Amino acid sequence: MRFFVYVIGTRSTIYKTYVGWTNDVEKRLEAHNSSKGAKSTRGYEWKLLYKEELNSKSEAMKREYELKKDTNSEISLNTSYPRIIETILISRGIINEEVIQAFLEPALKSLGDPFALPQMTTAVDRILEAIDKKENIVVYGDYDVDGVTSLTLMKKVLAAYENDAITFMPHRIDDGYGLSIGALKHCIDEHRPSLICLLYTSPSPRDLSTSRMPSSA
């Protein structure tokens, strides 16, 4: 009989790992994902991060104990990257050689299909309509690294379509961080746009969940 020690990982609000031993890794993983495994693993979607074959049940149990003491430090991806990089990759569940390459050396061809995002076609059609009608477009984003990068890219894309879009970032002190009704009102009062392109993954619940959007937006 074959014996294995394995590490599985899942991402919820934080990244979680679980170490166990078994004589059938695939069957055990299926049990974890159907909430039939250990109680602490129930309710999560797990993927296999690492497995190691041992000669006996006692060796597998001993190895399980060793890995549970320090999961990441005992696992090696056998790459040419420094150990600290491997540790970070393992903690994020990135262990496949192809996925590692795409993560550390990203390329445009690796990007997913943007039209897989909800309502992307509707958004693109509306932006193209605004360009054709030479409407006043404001691109609204935050002042962090992601926000400034997104604003710059969107500004360049619209410029390629000969639309001189205005970029808007909320004031760090007056408007605070994130999307808010106050910042939107500030944007509308200052620029009077007919279209605002919001470069956010989600609205700020502190304002938008309890307030109505300005009618002119």
**87-129, pLDDT tens digit by residue?**
777 767 677 777 788 888 888 877 788 888 889 999 999 999 9
Reduced to 3 states, what is the DSSP secondary structure of residue 84? helix
Q: What is the token pair recorded at 122?
A: 């509707």
Q: What is the pLDDT of residues 170-210, one digit of tens each?
A: 887 887 777 788 888 888 999 999 999 988 755 444 444 43
Report which DSSP code applies to 116.
G
Q: What is the pLDDT of residues 42-80, one digit of tens each?
A: 888 888 888 889 999 999 998 888 877 765 555 566 677
d(CA 57, CA 12) in angstroms, rounded, equals: 31
- CA 96 → CA 49, 93, 103, distances in Å? 9, 9, 10
What does CATH list as the number for 114-208?
3.90.1640.30
Q: What residue spans in the chain does CATH classification 3.90.1640.30 cover?
A: 114-208
